[in-house]
Structure 1
Amino acid sequence: MAAFQIFYSSNQYWYHLRAGNGEIVQSGEGYTTKASCQNGIRSVQTNCQPHRFESYFASGQYGFNHVAANGEIIGRSEKYTTAQSRDHGIQVVLREAPDAPVQDLT
């Protein structure tokens, strides 16, 4: 099962969404407070609909951005070598993020 992990680095709070296999499938931006990071995770969970994902191919790599209703990017994927792997990453977020537990590593 996937889990969100909150961690502190470079004077900011960050989150990763790790799939059940331990791989990071989505990461958030840096936040100045833990509460803001937690709000970012809630936004990810709320915006888990297929039309909220923007797929791309750049510099020989595939990826996606997870976008909120207001158009702001709320998460970015890791880079993938194939479109199929990227699409699988999106499916993991869609399926598991809404109910994923949050692990506070700070």
Structure 2
Amino acid sequence: MPAARRDISVVLDAEHDEETLGDRVRIALGDDADVVESVEVLSRTAHEQLPEAARSRLGTERGQVNVLLRIILRPIDRTLTSDEANAIRNTIYRAVHEGPVLELI
């Protein structure tokens, strides 16, 4: 089955690692967690390293990071529709994002 790829930008407290993020994703999706093939951190930028415009837009604070995540979704028995993949992306976003500004599409 073809994979659906979604990239999301989230704000996190700096101490979170990939394992913690994976746990949060699995817990949030519950029985649907098996559709997630992988969650990969593409980049991690500390609050202090972000341009001022990005800090303002995201609402980051000291001790937080902006993380770009790539999510690969691939159920074993069917192909996800775009709407289904987006709904899963939004569930994951809500589960891991810790910033004050929600940027859901």
Give the alignment's TM-score, normalised by structure 1: 0.32
Q: Which has the higher helix share?
A: 2
Q: Which has the higher strand share?
A: 1
Which is bigger in relative contact order (C-alpha 8 A, separation at least 6)?
Answer: 2
Give the alignment's TM-score, normalised by structure 2: 0.33
